[in-house]
Structure 1
């Protein structure tokens, strides 16, 4: 079944990808896309909906709904995560798969976009119940996923363990070991070194590259990082390692600001011990929204979507915004930043480190040879810098923002692949 790309329907993140569709349309207009090509690109290749019956630990039977959307195959197998959440819908998964298509293309990975999910609440399930759901989900998709078809990965409420169960289920059905069916696996069964740190590392890589262009010396440059999960905490640590001064960090408990510099390693240790930053005394506490307006050289929104809006954009005092989160900036705020001379490195570039190293994992699985972490990190740096350079050059040549240029690069790459292959009819 194929339907047009949804706009702002669904829950949680879907509105963010309504913004992604707005960004797509803006870039597509500058590319003067043929209407037929645009029609292909605004429809998913495949949407799959299925039931997942499973037995609870107490013997009762329940049925959940599973989804997998394979949005585009022009450049290669579909690629995208699997999420377990009560708010998962077909519209949401389709929109996320749409966005993944451009994210993979802008960093020149040989993948199309995909996404999947199960409408369930993992908090109400035991580990054994989650395993049964995951394996049934994999079994239902065994004919349409695979290293050359569709390569899932972890997403909201899924982990390397879920990927291990999917890999094992798929391998059992095929009577052979197939590690390349998923990425984000444990190292013991074909995962890649450097994968856990990849997204945060990628944020710091492109940020430092743009700081050099802007003439911002890392030594003493002030950084504010909203979000102190895997992405934000690792990015903050990388900034400190480069000589920067992180002056603000935050999580759901609030923001903590110290203009003399946050002890990032100490904050990471505190968050690990206490499972949050609640009670952290290394900075003055304020709201997350207030921290976004603290003057700094670089602002890294790495937590929630739509935190930079037309309501607060004029009060943001920074030289560079690097989007570690998905969709933290609304189109209206993005335009205001452009008018105010604030550079924004968009999410599809800034947080593409994770999917890039997932690609490296897929490559390593297929060749049966695994790289040292230093090699993974160097290849990540090279890929992000090279492709960000393409985006930067196009933005300069066409007089657009980095975001519009990023979508133009991504769309053009998919279109070129589509035209080379032709339309099978």
Structure 2
């Protein structure tokens, strides 16, 4: 299926490319983040936008005030650490400002922090990066207040908004492990990426009793088969999710970044970049299950090879759906702007989704991805019927 809108922008100063893809619209609106990544392509952003369409529809609950939006995504081909990145981002957002103001509700994604995005948006005269959705709400001021209050909530020194996505992935891991008959206290996990998603995944898995034995950041692998001190590592990471090796304990070992695939474990959680598990990598993986915390981390042929070996893959648009859903639950007023209300809604929704998809996979012998896609399509039809008008 072709996208509704695809924009390719060329920066007049650096010649860097930026992209916006609107895959679908519901009530004239789409939702999806903006990423900064050296090597980002239109094909990548197109795939991410399609994933957002699936995330939006998958999480639909007719009891919610939140009526899912369409799917969109943005990306800029630049390393977030490049000194030119802030000004390239500013020029890109200035160029696509009409889309942001009218249709595309966006937020942070890989390589971009929400506070950075908010500052640039404010400089361009936008009150937020989700202005388009406020136009359809009966009380936009109350929605803005709820969102501001939610972003002001801190949990153990970290912003709630930075935790909900990884918390959701951790819950997907835990429910999947339960269904596989695995005791949390005996489960081991490896997490690739230690930013807002990966760090929160590791935190909440460890809190549930899972032994996190390895994490990988941009500087390499940190491994301890007896279990890492996740809180120690969280306190020693920088804004890009890189851990200061000076805090490592005597039993912690380091290794090359790509070695995360070789560590034997029960739960393998890619939670950083796209396209990190190729077909050639699959023979190195001995995990019981792969849970996709990142967007599109596993190439299709790699997933097919893993499934053939009896290693299921919990797809990204199911496992990491909660960052996006949480924003809209807050905005539409389905939850209070508190950690307790947020975690309760994530717990119940993730359990409902994982169990529904898993039961269907067990019944039909189809993959988790195929069953999740079926549920997303069914929900999309219900959303279309309820919305009345779609773009």
Measure the CA separation in 2 of the matches of 1:188 and 1:105. Answer: 22
2:323 is paired with a residue whose SS is: helix
Aligned residues: 364
1:124 maps to 2:83? yes
Name 2:232's counterpart in structure 1: 266
Check conservation: 2:146, 2:337, Cα contact below 8 A.
no
* Contact 1:107–1:352 (Cα < 8 Å) also in 2: yes
Instruction: Give the CA RMSD over aligned residues.
Output: 3.6
Q: For the Cα contact (< 8 Å) 1:395–1:405, is it kept in 2? A: yes
Q: Contact between 1:223 and 1:246, CA under 8 Å: does it hold in 2?
A: yes
User: What is the distance in 2 between the residues matched to 1:179 and 1:328?
Assistant: 26
Residue deviations 1:29-49 (CA, integer Å, cap 9, x gap): xxxxxxxxxxxxx11112345
Change (3 A) 1:307 1:83: closer
Contact residue 75 and residue 414 of structure 1 kept, 8 A:
no
1:294 corresponds in structure 2 to 263
Partner of 2:5: 46
Instruction: Give how far 1:230 is off.
Output: 1.9
CA–CA distance in 2 between the matches of 1:271 and 1:112? 35
Note the 1:250-399 alignment, pairs <5 A: 250-272=216-238, 275-278=242-245, 280-281=248-249, 282-364=251-333, 371-399=337-365
* Deviation of the 1:62 alpha carbon: 7.3
Whether the 8 Å CA contact 1:134–1:165 is kept in 2: the answer is: no
**Mapped contact 1:292–1:316 kept (Cα < 8 A):** yes
Q: TM-score scaled by structure 1?
A: 0.73
Structure 1, residues 279-337: CA drift from partner, whole Å, max 9, x if none? 64442223344432322222222233333333342342222221112223232332233
Task: Name which one, 1 or 2, has greater alpha-carbon Rg.
Answer: 1
Give the secondary-structure state (helix, strand or coil) at the position aligned to 2:32.
strand
State how far apart, in whole Å, the 2-side matches of 1:48 and 1:423 are: 24
Aligned to 1:202: 168
* 2: CA distance, partners of 1:118 / 1:257: 33
The answer to whether residue 197 in structure 2 is matched with residue 235 in structure 1 is no
Give unmatched runs, 5+ long, in structure 2. 61-66, 134-143, 154-159
> Contact 2:9/2:18 (CA < 8 Å) preserved in 1?
yes
Asked whether the equivalents of residues 164 and 189 of structure 1 are also in contact (C-alpha less than 8 Å), the reply is no
Residue 141 of structure 1: aligned partner:
97
Stretches of structure 1 that go unaligned for 5 or more consecutive residues are 1-41, 54-60
Indicate the residue corresponding to 1:114 in structure 2. Answer: 72
TM-score of the aligned structures, taking structure 2 as reference length: 0.79
Distance 2:356 2:271 in 1: 24
1-structure distance, mates of 2:375, 2:328: 19
1:94 aligns with 2:50: no
Aligned partner (choices 224, 232, 235) of residue 190 of structure 2: 224
